[in-house]
Amino acid sequence: MSKVSVERGLHLEAFLEMLSAERGAARNTLDAYERDLKDFSAFLATRGKAQTEATARDIRDYLEYIAAQGLSASTAARRLSAIRQFHGFLFADGVRKDDPCGSIEGPRRARPLPKTLTVEEVDGLLAASRLAADGRTQEEAVLAYKRARLVCLMEVLYATGLRVSELVGLPLSAVRGDERFLSVSGKGGRERLVPLSETARLAIDTYLPLRTQRLGDKTSPWLFPSRGRQGHLTRHRFAQLLKDLSIAAGLDPSRVSPHTLRHAFASHLLANGADLRAVQQMLGHADISTTQIYTHVLDERLKDLVQTHHPLAKKGKAS
């Protein structure tokens, strides 16, 4: 192995360690950065260069190269982001005396609006889950447990906007503290408190005794225990339950997913006057830019406010 290859590997390893230690990056994130940067290194190797020798021209040529391969603008933007951060790290560490990414403009990409549901559609899903819980066979302990669990999952998801992995992986301790809040451990181990609605709290209180009954002599640290390898309900199983529920509610199941309900949570909050920063905190977004996909909701709300309350708008209607 050449000296250049060894040095390149050491710099990349140090960069990944920094992302893990200082930014709490998840394993999947680190793997993605490593793949993208190794691809750029392979491109530079064809020019006999290491990352520490890359110029702005090299980076532009690389972007043209991956575009010619038919890769999407979003993929190119992600790879450029990895290259930017890596070279920023090299510059900050004194490995490089300059940052070749300073003058590079990223590829333009259209950001699609998140798929969501109307308030009425979500109400239909919640009503369908409650209807399932009110069946005539409540005396059947297993069925009663599963029905109460479904109501609890749905109410908590729509009340909090949790990621599906956060929802199914909730520890029992998350609901043992202040009844007004849910304690959530999100990406990178970041803790946050999310307010609970009264209906969500009621669903939890209804579900917990049935959970205890269902477990019998066994114990589980998870709010939604399962016999599977993970020990708790899986994302896949919850997605299946949600598809069945959407059919019962008369909705197209292809439009309904746990992530759709997360988007519905955020969109409905903003449409009803919530602050974007508060929604960011409840969603567990590390950066406000991630939450800004919902600014179309704010635009509509502001437009409605102006048309409804501005004196000139009222005057225009009167004339």
Q: Of 60, 146, 187, 235, which residue is the catalytic one?
A: 187
Give the angle 194-199-205 at the CA atoms, nearest 5°.
90
The full DSSP string for the chain is --HHHHHHHHHHHHHHHHHHHHH---HHHHHHHHHHHHHHHHHHHTTT--GGG--HHHHHHHHHHHHHTT--HHHHHHHHHHHHHHHHHHHHTTS-SS-TTTTPPPPP---PPPP---HHHHHHHHHHHHHHHT-TTTTSHHHHHHHHHHHHHHHHHHHH---HHHHHT-BGGGGSS-TTEEEEE-GGG-EEEEE--HHHHHHHHHHHHHHHHHHTT---SBSSB-SSTTSB--HHHHHHHHHHHHHHTT--GGG--HHHHHHHHHHHHHHTT--HHHHHHHHT-SSHHHHGGGHHHHHHHHHHHHHHH-HHHHHHHH-
Tokens of 101: 């990414």
Q: Which structure tokens are listed for 41?
A: 């290194």
Q: What are phi and psi of 190, to 5 degrees?
A: -70, 130
d(CA 69, CA 197): 49
263 in catalytic set: no
Catalytic status, residue 285: yes
Whole-angstrom distance, CA of residue 27 vs CA of residue 5: 24
Residues of the chain with pLDDT under 50: 1-7, 135-138, 302-303, 305-306, 309-310, 312-315, 318-319
Confirm whether 296 is a catalytic residue. Answer: no
- In angstroms, the CA 211 to CA 208 distance is 5
pLDDT of residue 310: 44
Q: What is the pLDDT of residue 132?
A: 56
Can you give the pLDDT at residue 135?
Answer: 45
Encoded amino acid at 299, one letter: D
pLDDT digits 0-9 by tens, 3-29: 444 445 678 888 888 888 877 778 888
Phi, psi of 184 (to 5 degrees): -125, 135
Cα separation, 63 vs 79, whole angstroms: 9
State residue 305's pLDDT score: 46
Tell me how crowded residue 212 is: count the other CB atoms within 10 A of its CB: 11
Over residues 275-286, the pLDDT tens digits come to 777 777 777 777
Tell me the sheet residues that pair with 204.
none
Q: 294 an active-site residue?
A: yes
Catalytic residue from among 49, 192, 237, 259:
259
One of 163, 214, 232, 268 is an active-site residue; which one?
163
pTM over 0.85: no
Active site residue 187: yes
232, 262, 263, 268: which one is catalytic? Answer: 262
pLDDT at position 228, please?
A: 85
- Contact call for residues 180 and 202 (beta carbons, < 8 A): no
Does residue 268 have an active-site annotation? Answer: no
Which residue in the list 62, 158, 207, 294 is annotated as catalytic?
294
Q: Residue 49 in contact with residue 6, Cβ under 8 Å?
A: no
Q: Which of 285, 309, 310, 315 is catalytic?
A: 285
- Name which of 62, 61, 44, 58 is nearest 7 in CA terms: 44
